[in-house]
């Protein structure tokens, strides 16, 4: 086995970067693909140490902590808990699959393409590992550039418009995040996320920072009304770009809610939860309705992503154990399913050179295996029992029902709408007339190779979700426990608002001290501690 102090997370983050640099010196297209694929496989192997993840604790694990910029108390601080580990696994596993699905799709500027893929992996894994706010922001923004290039260079006809829109939206959203980060630093004296979680800021301060952060995350998710960049970006992006966008980038928004909004600004999260819930519900209903009307398959899936991410946000902001559990599961599941859906559309595009539904009608007779895959993934997307989509949606549904019955009913309507657009897609592509598929080749070996692992995950997580839930369990319990403790700001804390707003720059703070001095100044609230286990209610 590896030594205990092997920097697992750093290796995961920087190996793709090294591979990208190495790729600069490779010349032949075919070799580039092979090298990237090999790098992807090695990156997957680097995941193996994560098997040592301790299921019994909610603490951050595999922690790496070094002083980076002492003057500002910025650290190179990595660590993972039950919330992030699944996202990392998903990110890393998608890399080789993305290489495979672009094998024949990308014909020009192959080298740059694969470099972008590798850089994306570095940035995404970094986002999920970072426990220092500045480090997080660096990875968060760093992924914009390769994604921009993926869309702008290898995209479709309106790629320039789509890529700029993507970049502007996401960057504009995250500028205020930076302000929030700075504000936290001045008020809390540290950039370290775990340390900030234990502090208790005044309510007005929490509200403003929550809004600043939520804007950044909501654009990324994307929640209505910030979603308009998504369909454009998805439609124009190449397959691998769409896959990364849908499977990983969107998750960062909801991950941000879980990692930052709820633990650091619990009172504000509770205050704004109704707003977030309303937006999430609108996302679900609106996204589904728009998806129903789409002619372009990618657009359809893109709008369905808006709806799906609405489910996730909804699950998060009802603040119940099952809701959050389901939300995280659905983040992973949606990553798998939608990734696969985009791959399927991509490989259809390679055959028909069109993403319009009406150019791909009636394939079930000519491409039965393809239709089989499309069907299974659509069912998973709908949340058919036995597939992964079912469990996560069920968990969210339970969480939502615990919070409000009205929401639960809306949720079910959302599910039905999901059925409508998926059926429409399936029917036209499967049984529509006139049949267009004659002479097209069914799934080939390479395509099997990247669809099968995803299908395996669909069923693994659908039939045995226990392990995944065990992984995230302690972390969610901890999250909710802290939330319950801090959801009400004590009176002292609100009087302290001026102090938390105006702290002199902490020149003499020991950067590695566990508790920053401000934490001692701010009295902790010890409000009611609710045991979150579900107990049967009898009459």
Partner 1 sequence: MLNFTPSLIIPELYMALLLVALFVQTVTDSIKDRTDWLAYAALGGVVVAALSMSQSGMMFYDSYQIDGLSQFFKLVIALGLAICVLNALRNTTLGKTPRADYFFFMFMSAFGLMLLSSTVELFTIYISLELASYSLYILLPLRNENPRAVEGAIKYALFGAVATAIGLFGVSYIIAGQHTTYIHELATMNWSFAEQPMALIGLGLFALAFLYKLALFPFHFWAPDVYQGASNETAAFAATLPKVGAIVVLVRLMGLDPGVEVKIVLAVFATLSMTLGNILALRQTDLKRLLAYSSVAHAGFVVMGLVAGGAYGLAAASYYALVYVVMNLTIFWVITRLADDGRDIQLHDLKGMHHSTPLLAFVLAVAAFGLVGLPPTGGFTGKLFLLNAAWGEGFYLLVIIAAINTAIAIFYYLNMVRHAYTMDQATPSVVPSTVIGASVALALALGVLYLGLMPQGLFDLLLQASGALLL
Partner 2 sequence: MMPFTLLQTILVPALVALVILLFRYRIGKKAGWVAVSGLIYTTGLLLAALVHIYHGGPVIERYTILSSPEITIHLVADGLSIAVALICNLLCLALCTYSIKYIDHRIEILYPDLDEKGQINYFTSFFYLLLPFPVGFMGVSFSADLVMMYFFLEVLTLFLFFLMAYFGYQDRVKVAVMCFIWGVFSALFFLGGVVIIYSQVGSFQMDQIHLLSGHPLAFWVILLVLIGFFAKLAIVPLHVWMPWVHAEHPTCIAGLLAVYANIAAYIIVRMLVLPLWDDFQVFGPPIMIFAVITMVYGSLLTLAQTDMKRIPACSTISQSAYSMLGIGALTAASIEGGLFFFLSHIMGKTVFFSACGLVVYTTHIRDINRLGGLATKMPITALLFLSGGMMLAGIPPFSSFAAEVVMFAGIFERGDNLGLIIGIIGLVAILLTISYAVHFTRVIFFGPLPEHLAQDDHVRDPSWIMVAPLVVIVLTSVALGLYPSLIMNLFEPVISGYLANM
The only residue of 102, 322, 360, 378 in contact with partner 2, by rule CB under 8 A: 322
Task: Report the residue number, 215 or 429, with the smaller CB distance to partner 2.
Answer: 429
DSSP string, 19-72: HHHHHTT---HHHHHHHHHHHHHHHHHTTGGGGG--TT--S-EEEEEEEEEGGG
Q: How many CB atoms lie within 10 A of CB 270?
A: 18
Report CA 86 to chain centroid distance, whole Å: 10
- In the list partner 2, partner 1, none, the entry touching 72 (Cβ below 5 to 8 angstroms by class) is partner 1
Task: Report the residue number, 135 or 307, with the smaller CB distance to partner 1.
Answer: 135
The only residue of 188, 465, 506, 511 in contact with partner 2, by rule CB under 8 A: 465
Least distance in angstroms from the C-beta of 462 to partner 2: 10
- In the list partner 1, partner 2, none, the entry touching 44 (Cβ below 5 to 8 angstroms by class) is none
Site for partner 2 in 84-143 (CB under 8 A): none
Which pairs from 383-386 meet CB under 8 Å and 24+ separation? Answer: 383/415, 383/418, 385/462, 386/459, 386/462, 386/463
- In the list partner 1, partner 2, none, the entry touching 537 (Cβ below 5 to 8 angstroms by class) is partner 2
318's tokens:
């009802």
Residue with tokens 């769409």: 242
Task: Report the residue number, 109 or 481, with the smaller CB distance to partner 1.
Answer: 109
Q: Which listed range, 3-11, 36-44, 207-215, 418-426, lies at the site for partner 2 (CB under 8 A)?
A: 418-426
What distance in Å separates the CA atoms of residue 30 and residue 36, rounded to the nearest whole number?
10
* Residue 442 interacts with partner 2 (CB under 8 A): yes or no: no
Q: Are 255 and 384 in contact (CB under 8 A)?
A: no
Q: What are phi and psi of 386, to 5 degrees?
A: 100, -20
The only residue of 7, 49, 156, 408 in contact with partner 2, by rule CB under 8 A: 408
Task: Report the residue number, 236 or 325, with the smaller CB distance to partner 2.
Answer: 325
Site for partner 2 in 348-387 (CB under 8 A): 379, 384-386
The only residue of 5, 508, 528, 539 in contact with partner 2, by rule CB under 8 A: 539
By the criterion CB under 8 A, which residues form the site for partner 1? 68-72, 109, 112, 134, 137-139, 141-142, 144-145, 148-149, 152-153, 159-160, 163-164, 167-168, 171-172, 175-176, 178-179, 182-183, 185-186, 501-505, 507
- In the list partner 1, partner 2, none, the entry touching 406 (Cβ below 5 to 8 angstroms by class) is none
Residue 135's closest CA among 251, 10, 35? 10
The only residue of 194, 473, 474, 517 in contact with partner 2, by rule CB under 8 A: 473
- In the list partner 1, partner 2, none, the entry touching 502 (Cβ below 5 to 8 angstroms by class) is partner 1
- For CA atoms 285, 287, 289, 292, the dihedral sign is negative
* Residue 464 interacts with partner 2 (CB under 8 A): yes or no: yes
Kind of pairing between the strands at 61-69 and 74-80: antiparallel
Q: CB burial class (10 A; 0-12, 13-18, 19+) of residue 353?
A: exposed
């Amino acid at each position: 086995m590896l030594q205990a102090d092997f920097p697992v997370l750093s290796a995961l983050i920087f190996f793709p970067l090294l591979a990208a640099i190495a790729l600069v010196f490779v010349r032949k297209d075919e070799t580039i693909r092979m090298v990237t694929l090999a790098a992807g496989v090695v990156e997957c192997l680097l995941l193996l140490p994560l098997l040592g993840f301790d299921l019994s604790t909610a603490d951050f694990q595999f922690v790496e902590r070094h002083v980076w910029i002492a003057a500002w108390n910025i650290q190179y601080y990595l660590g993972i808990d039950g919330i992030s580990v699944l996202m990392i696994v998903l990110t890393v596993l998608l890399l080789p699959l993305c290489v495979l699905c672009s094998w024949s799709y990308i014909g020009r500027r192959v080298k740059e393409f694969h470099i972008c893929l590798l850089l994306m992996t570095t940035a995404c894994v970094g986002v999920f590992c970072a426990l220092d706010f500045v480090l997080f922001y660096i990875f968060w923004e760093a992924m914009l550039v390769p994604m921009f290039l993926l869309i702008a260079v290898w995209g479709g006809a309106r790629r320039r418009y789509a890529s700029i829109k993507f970049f502007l939206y996401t960057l504009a959203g995250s500028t205020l995040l930076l302000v929030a980060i700075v504000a936290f630093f001045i008020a809390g004296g540290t950039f370290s996320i775990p340390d900030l979680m234990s502090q208790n800021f005044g309510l007005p301060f929490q509200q403003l920072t929550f809004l600043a952060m939520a804007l950044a995350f909501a654009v990324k998710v994307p929640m209505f009304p910030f979603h308009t960049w998504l369909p454009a970006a998805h439609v124009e992006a190449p397959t691998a770009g769409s896959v990364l966008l849908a499977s990983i980038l969107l998750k960062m928004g909801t991950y941000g809610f879980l990692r930052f909004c709820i633990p650091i600004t619990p009172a504000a999260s509770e205050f704004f939860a109704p707003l977030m819930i309303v937006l999430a519900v609108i996302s679900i209903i609106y996204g589904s309705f728009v998806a129903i009307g789409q002619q372009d398959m990618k657009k359809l899936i893109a709008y369905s992503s808006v709806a799906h991410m609405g489910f996730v946000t909804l699950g998060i902001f009802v603040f119940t154990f099952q809701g959050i559990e389901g939300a995280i599961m659905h983040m992973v599941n949606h990553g798998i399913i939608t990734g696969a859906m985009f791959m399927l559309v991509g490989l259809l595009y390679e055959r028909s050179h069109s993403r319009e539904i009406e150019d791909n009608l009636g394939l079930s007779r000519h491409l039965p295996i393809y239709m089989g895959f499309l069907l299974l993934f659509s069912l998973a997307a709908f949340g058919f029992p036995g597939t992964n989509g079912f469990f996560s949606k069920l968990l969210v549904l339970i969480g939502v029902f615990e919070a409000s019955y009205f929401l639960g009913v809306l949720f079910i309507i959302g599910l039905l709408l999901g059925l409508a657009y998926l059926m429409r897609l399936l029917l036209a592509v499967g049984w529509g007339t006139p049949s267009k598929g004659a002479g097209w080749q069914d799934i080939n070996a390479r395509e099997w190779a990247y669809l099968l692992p995803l299908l395996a995950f669909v069923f693994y997580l659908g039939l045995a979700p226990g392990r995944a839930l065990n992984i995230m369990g302690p972390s969610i319990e901890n999250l909710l426990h802290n939330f319950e403790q801090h959801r009400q700001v004590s009176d002292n804390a609100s009087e302290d608002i001026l102090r938390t707003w105006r702290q002199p720059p902490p020149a003499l703070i020991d950067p590695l001290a566990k508790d920053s001095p401000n934490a001692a100044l701010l009295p902790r609230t010890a409000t009611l501690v609710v045991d979150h286990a579900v107990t049967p209610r009898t009459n």
